[in-house]
Structure 1
């Protein structure tokens, strides 16, 4: 059984996109993360060392979004998932990338991509 720890609305400014103006001007990306972790050790010990330090994870996610531009939000989402899965206690991660200012010639609220990735177990 895995518990879920969720952080929503991580606002980042990045220069991702396929168009030159997106790379040049940049835009806001908003990230939601859900981590699959077993929280029982932390609940029993009441010790931060026994869980995922989500404050540090958010810092690493912001760094991943705000550096090294890519064309696609699919690539960005995978990068974020890879960062989250480095956590020792993280079994899986769900990443939602919001691109509310996507260059679409229509009235819309948001563009999102959601991915779920699991830590590979070694056999």
Structure 2
């Protein structure tokens, strides 16, 4: 591991997102997220009960937040390889098939650019 960088998570969640995940888990059981490059400029992750969405061969597991696995489509994962995905909650309606729909709040993906040390720790430092 790179000096000064102990652990690098590709995905994290805000406290409000973790609370919303726990609320949905209490109602639906185990959850998972999928971040695709589809509608809404790709900023709305879709939340599903485990088993309600089938992960494809080109989907990438980014990590886990609040006990829910978070996947991203390969093309978007490659485009966002230099960023950490941060799940957050904002007012609004979720995606039509997402479990956050109709609750007047929805998940939103934010991003933070990794430092060079973090990218090196992830082994994705771009050549200059």
TM-score bracket, normalised by the shorter chain, equals under 0.3
The structure whose Rg is larger is: 1
Answer 1 or 2: which has greater helix percent: 1
TM-score (norm 2): 0.26
| Higher normalized contact order (CA 8 Å, seq sep 6+, divided by chain length) | 2
